[in-house]
Amino acid sequence: MKIKKYFASDMRQALEMAREEHGSDVVILSNRKVLGGVELIAAEDYDEQIYNKSTEARQSHESNKQQPELVETIATEIEKPAKAESVSDIWTHDSTIDQMRDELKSLRSMLEQQMSGLAWGAIGRQHPLWANLIRQLINLDLTPKLARQLVEEIPEDYKFDQAWRTLLALLTYKIPQFHDNILTAGNKILFFGPSGSGKTTTIAKMATRYALEYGTQNIMLATTDIYRVGAREQIRSYARILGIPIRTINNKEDYLSLFDGPASEKLILIDTAGLSLKDKKHQEQISLLKSTDQKIMKGLILPTTEHYNGLSRLIDNYQSFNPDFCIPTKLDEATSLGGFLSVAIEKAIPIAGLCDGQRVPEDLHKMKPYELVSRVVSRANQNQIKFDEEHMEQSIGHYEFENDLKH
Ligand SMILES: Nc1nc2c(ncn2[C@@H]2O[C@H](COP(=O)(O)OP(=O)(O)OP(=O)(O)O)[C@@H](O)[C@H]2O)c(=O)[nH]1
Ligand SMILES: [Mg+2]
CB atoms within 10 A of CB 214: 14
pLDDT < 50 regions, the chain: 61-92
Which atom of ligand 1 is the closest one to the Cα of 194? Answer: 25
Does residue 332's CB lie within 6 angstroms of at least one atom of ligand 1? yes
What is the per-residue burial (b if ≥16 Cβ within 10 Å, else e) of 107-140?
eeeeebeebbeebbeebbeebebbbebbebbbbb
Q: List Cα–Cα distances, 235 to 209, 224, 239, 279, 352, in angstroms.
A: 16, 11, 6, 22, 21
Ligand nearest to the CA of 196: 1
Does residue 272's CB lie within 6 angstroms of at least one atom of ligand 1? no
Say how far apart CA 240 and CA 247 lie, in whole Å.
12
Longest CA span, the chain: 82
Sign of CA dihedral 89, 91, 95, 100: positive
Q: Is 325 exposed, middle or buried (0-12, 13-18, 19+ CB in 10 A)?
A: buried
Which atom of ligand 1 is the closest one to the Cα of 329? Answer: 31
Give the residue, out of 201, 229, 331, with the most ligand 1 atoms within 8 A of its beta carbon, to mutate for a pocket test.
201
Q: DSSP string spanning 88-119? A: HHHHHHHHHHHHHHHHHHHHHHHHHHHHHHHH
Ligand nearest to the CA of 305: 1
Ligand 1: residue whose CA is nearest its atom 29: 358
Å from CA of 25 to ligand 1 middle: 55
CB atoms within 10 A of CB 294: 13
Q: What's the pLDDT at 331?
A: 97
CB atoms within 10 A of CB 377: 17
Q: What amino acid occupies position 25?
A: D
Q: Which bin fits 193, alpha (ψ -120 to 50), beta or left (φ > 0)?
A: left
Say how far apart CA 315 and CA 302 lie, in whole Å.
9
Give the residue, out of 358, 359, 360, with the most ligand 1 atoms within 8 A of its beta carbon, to mutate for a pocket test.
358
Å from CA of 231 to ligand 2 middle: 5
Does residue 299's CB lie within 6 angstroms of at least one atom of ligand 1? no
Does residue 199's CB lie within 6 angstroms of at least one atom of ligand 1? yes
Does residue 176's CB lie within 6 angstroms of at least one atom of ligand 1? no
Q: Which CATH superfamily is domain 188-366 in?
A: P-loop containing nucleotide triphosphate hydrolases (3.40.50.300)
Does residue 37's CB lie within 6 angstroms of at least one atom of ligand 1? no
Does residue 201's CB lie within 6 angstroms of at least one atom of ligand 1? yes
Say how far apart CA 88 and CA 144 lie, in whole Å.
48
- How far does the chain reach from its first CA to its final CA, in angstroms? 49
Say how far apart CA 83 and CA 94 lie, in whole Å.
22
Say how far apart CA 263 and CA 219 lie, in whole Å.
9
Domain ranges of the chain: 2-86, 95-175+388-406, 188-366
CB atoms within 10 A of CB 341: 27
